[in-house]
């Protein structure tokens, strides 16, 4: 499967998906750690892709997303943003609301 197809498939199959360095239990960078911590606080299921394990995705996703950095949060096929945006949304209560609504629309 082509890398771009793989990315599109991951995004379509996971209503809430974070592309990050490392895993939620063992993040490999501070930005990924803070972003995944914010998602965990929202108490909803989410998928993740460790871009350190997938160099093809790490190199292809920034041009597809038109977003140069990681982590990247995708919700229902739409790029929400990176660490700063995630934390800002969490502080304003927007992230919790958005993710709760999405997880209710997509029960596991």
Domains of the chain and CATH, by start: 3-105 (3.40.30.10)
Query: Distance (Å, rounded) from C-alpha 67 to C-alpha 72?
Result: 8
CA dihedral 92, 99, 28, 70 (to 10 degrees): -80
Segment 25-65, tens digit of pLDDT? 999 999 999 999 999 999 999 999 999 999 999 999 999 99
pLDDT band at 108 (very low <50, low <70, confident <90, very high): confident
pTM of the model: 0.96
Preceding omega of 106 cis (within 30 degrees of 0): no
Length of the chain in terms of residues written: 108
């Amino acid at each position: 499967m082509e890398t771009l197809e793989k990315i599109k498939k991951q995004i379509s199959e996971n209503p809430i998906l974070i592309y990050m360095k490392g895993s939620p239990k063992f993040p490999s960078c501070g930005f990924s750690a803070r972003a995944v911590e914010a998602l965990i606080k929202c108490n909803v299921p989410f998928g993740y892709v460790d871009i350190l394990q997938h160099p093809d995705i790490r190199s292809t996703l920034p041009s597809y997303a038109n977003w140069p950095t990681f982590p990247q949060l995708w919700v229902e096929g739409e790029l929400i943003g990176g660490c700063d945006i995630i934390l800002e949304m969490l502080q304003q209560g927007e992230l919790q609301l958005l993710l709760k609504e999405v997880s209710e629309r997509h029960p596991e």
